[in-house]
A and B are shown apart, each in its own frame.
Chain A
Amino acid sequence: MLEVSGVSKSFGGLKAVDSASLDVRSGEIVALIGPNGAGKTTLFATLAGFHKPDAGRIVFAGRDVTGEPPHRICAAGMVRTFQITQPFARISVRENLMVGAYLRVQDRGESRRRAEAAAAQVGMAGQLDRLGADLTVAGRKRLELARALATGPRLLLLDEVMAGLNPIEIGEIVEVVRAIRASGITILLTEHVMQAVMSLADRVYVLNQGRMIAEGTPAEIAGNPAVVEAYLGHGAAGALRA
């Protein structure tokens, strides 16, 4: 569904993403993890068209979308959410979701129906009339998710939808993400909450200092010394084993 090969992106002298490759197959949940500053969000933003890659190719659903603007990529069916939530603050949740739903439909009633369906999917059906600005952190995270869902995507790019949530809220979102996958939507997510990654992901990619250093099932990744060192520092893997 998504094939990323050799994508690089620099800002000034800093190479945020350095020749990263990954692929996501239809129906999977794939996690992209890595320490803070590894380049996960930059890679996501590049996939979604917010940055033009300096090198590399992004093929989505058989179509080369490298360097295309975000609205085209979204229309093609790949939608991102934001780690730092970006609600439409002064309009209601329903209206927030309708802006997304209008991507596929012109009719107001149909857009409203899709908006309400998306809200139900993330458990926000009771908050449709609240203003975007009045939501809690957990509410905003759900709004991000629902708004992306309302656009009728095939692949969701979820950028840390669990950051800042408490364990109960995380458990709820994990269930929501599972249900979304079950409804036929493929998911690529970045996450710091390892418990969620381990329970959700079919496969995991590890990004460190802009480079992809490992790929595998959650269990393989957890046992990979290079990954442990990326998080805990050089020599940590050996120290832990000892």
Chain B
Amino acid sequence: MRRQGLLLALALAAAIVLPLVAPGYLVEVGVLVFFLAFIGQSWNISGGFAGQTSFGHAVFFGTGAYTSTILQITFGWNAWLAWPAAVVAGAIVGWIIAILSFRAGLRGSYFALITLAFAEAFRILANSVSFTHAGLGMLIKADPRPANFQFRDPIWFYYLALALCIVSLLIAWQLTRDRFGARLVGVRENEDAARALGIDVFAEKVKALTLSGAIAAAGGTFYAQKYLYIDPNIAFGVDKSIEMLLVTMVGGAGTIFGPLLGALTLTGVNEATRALASIVPALKNVQPLSLIVYGVMLILIVGRLPDGLARLFHRVQRHA
């Protein structure tokens, strides 16, 4: 226990010091890792802890990105004020999708498919209606001042992403030690048993997806502010949904550190394969090489380590 605490403190110190000494490239990679870990944790709450596998978490991510961007561009809101509004919007979308799907009794692959359908419907809508500027996408005017949630020095995005990641870890940690989290795990492990033990399975699943939607939406706003541009494919495309799912599955679904481990691993693989492709001429045309490696990794993990990389660190990482 004490050793764990020490390790965590060291990791945190390293994460804080890193951007001060590392080259700018590594800082950007760090932003990506913490951002992925954050949105991955959103997936982990509903998919890992509560066991409701979603293929369409981009619907929440995109809702957040579009909500804050529209509020800024169309209504002239300050980005910092638009952020909590985006979080609320993500929670509402999560709540509605949960009510519709779980009231209809959708579970397992049916639930996964309906979330995918929602994300695709949102993507097509965002592509068609005028208040999202349709397929053109939305460009946030660059005005790099901290008051605008824009920073000239990427180090601030790095620290913000780190803070978000820590918040998401704390939420997951809390889930491993409170009643809500225990009930989600009960729902995941066996719905009938959970029901017999007095758990309102429907209500707990709705709460989980609402919380998850809120977190993913917070990630959406962060992304929009970092890149100052979103379009329907970036916001609601299946890529984001898969990324969230993948980092969590690789790292360890239903564990505190799974999404972070997964984000570190996948980002590392991604950067390594890119470097490799630029060095080895034969690999130049194999693009993107990282997807092939992801595929192999996923096969290995599902086959050999179904509880993810976190399993390598602890005998039992799942909690109630």
A binding-site residues for B, Cβ under 8 Å: 48, 50, 69-71, 74-75, 79-82, 86-92, 95-96, 98-100, 102-103, 106, 108, 111, 131-132, 147-148, 151
Contact = CB atoms under 8 A, between A and B. Distances in A.
Interface stretch (B22-30, B196-204, B259-267): B196-204
Contacts of B196: 48, 50, 70, 74, 79-82, 86, 148
Nearest 6 A/B pairs, CB to CB: A95-B320, A74-B198, A88-B189, A86-B193, A103-B198, A99-B186
B177 interface: yes
A88 B185 contact: yes
Contacts, number: 89
A230 B193 CA distance: 32
B320 A98 contact: yes
B199 A89 contact: no
Q: Is the interface of A mostly helix, strand, loop or mixed?
A: mixed
Contacts of A98: 182, 320
Contacts of A71: 195, 198-201
Given A91-B320, A92-B316, A108-B177, A99 B182 contact: yes
B185 A95 contact: yes
B197 A151 contact: yes
Interface string B161-202: 000000000000000011100110110011011111111110
A179 to B, nearest CB: 21
Given A95-B320, A99-B320, A87 B199 contact: no
A90 B186 CA distance: 10
B137 to A, nearest CB: 43
Contacts of B201: 71
Contacts of A108: 177-179
A79 B194 CA distance: 11
Contacts of B318: 90-91
B192 A99 contact: no
